[in-house]
Amino acid sequence: MCRVLKIARAGYYAWLHEPESGRTIEDKRLLQLIRSSYDASYGIYGYRRITLDLKELGESCGPNRVLKIMKNNGIAAVRGYKKHKSYGRGRPQIVPPIHLNREFVVNTPDTSWVTDITYIRTWQGWLYLAVVLDLYSRKVIGWSMKPTLAKDIVLDALLMAVWRRRPNEPVIIHSDQGSQYSSGDWHKFCQKHNLIPSMSRRGLAQYTAHGTMLLQNPFLAA
């Protein structure tokens, strides 16, 4: 092979036994952290979200390096929806019926979910948190946090809930009439994953049977 490639045999064997570079060793270490973050999100996180997780751990790697490591090792975020272009303004919102009918006490899991968005003030500004709760257990089964109120925040939270619970029967997903929940992408996602959208009417808060706000502090239900 050395003769074909026209390289010195001594140089080839020196390269063959050369230890891994510091960069390669560091990439392998980061790969373990990336896999941990990816597995903890049930395959939802992409390279941007994983980069934020690594920075919280004190790592200084950038998103491009995380993306390269993920691509080289076949790690990719699972996306259950596609972004669609919107044309024009003033299109009427999609408002489905109130399928939940204020029945906030259920006897079986994965029959009725509720979702909402709240905001959290941090030293770096406001962050928005979307959560999905199972009314049976009152536990958070999906969540997403972003610096903006783009519709992706609710889709990511719902996608996490679907992948974690994998319901076999149709599930009611109840929300308010926020623009994120009345978008075409939201309803296409629900249709694709056998979810039944339900919306409260304007001016009606999402109350539990005890009269307290169900989504006032989602972390208390976790």
**168: Cα within 13 Å, side-chain hemisphere:** 1
Decide if pLDDT at 135 tops 80.
yes
- Mean pLDDT, residues 72-86: 67
Residue, of 109 and 81, whose pLDDT is higher: 109
User: What pTM does this model have?
Assistant: 0.56
Kindly give the interhelix angle for 63-72 and 22-40, rounded to the nearest 10 degrees. Answer: 80
- Residue intervals of the chain classified under CATH 3.30.420.10 are 112-221
In the chain, % of residues over pLDDT 70: 70
- Mean pLDDT, residues 72-99: 61
Q: Are strands 139-146 and 171-175 parallel, antiparallel or unpaired?
A: unpaired
- Among 10-14, 122-126, 162-166, 201-205, top mean pLDDT goes to 162-166
Q: Which two tokens stand for residue 205?
A: 């808060």
- Mean pLDDT, residues 153-173: 91
The full length of the chain comes to: 222
When pLDDT is cut at 50, 70 and 90, the band that residue 110 belongs to is very high
Decide if pLDDT at 48 tops 90.
no
Radius of gyration over every alpha carbon of the chain, rounded to an integer in angstroms: 23
* Rounded Cα distance, 71 and 117, in Å: 32
**Topology of the domain covering 112-221:** Nucleotidyltransferase; domain 5 (3.30.420)
